[in-house]
Amino acid sequence: MKDADYHQMIDDLFIAIEEALDECEVDIDYEGAGGILTMTMPNQTKIILNKQPPLQQLWVATKFNGHHFNYEEGKWIDERTGAEFFSFFDAAVSKQAEKELTFNLQG
């Protein structure tokens, strides 16, 4: 994948997440800067998403562990667990926000 395509995909993903958080029933604060999107849950735990341009990966740090996603066949896939990003994201945010949430984000 070309670097420009990688950056555009991650930027579009971060914008979609920010828009979904604006509509979320749970008050999740977020801040995006320099290729990093930091989400702060009401209980003050954080989820941090960041670009890893040299590897063309999306890294996600949760309260519980870290995940590295590779873009494979049109999807972001966790290199360790094989989880697809969008289902992983819903589950991770739900767990840390302590409320079942579905964002309906799609690649």
Task: Identify the three-state secondary structure at position 90.
Answer: helix
Q: How far apart are CA 44 and CA 52, in angstroms?
A: 25
Q: What is the pLDDT of residue 105?
A: 83
pLDDT tens digits, one per residue of 45-86: 999 999 999 999 999 999 999 999 999 999 999 999 999 999
Domains along the sequence of the chain with CATH: 3-97 (3.30.920.10)
At residue 107, does pLDDT exceed 80? no
Q: How far apart are CA 96 and CA 43, in angstroms?
A: 8
- What's the whole-number mean pLDDT along residues 4-21? 95
At residue 88, does pLDDT exceed 80? yes
58, 104, 24, 46: CA torsion to nearest 10: -20
Q: What is the pLDDT of residue 71?
A: 96
**Percentage of the chain modeled with pLDDT above 70:** 99
Nearest alpha-carbon partner for 63 in 41, 80, 85, 90: 41
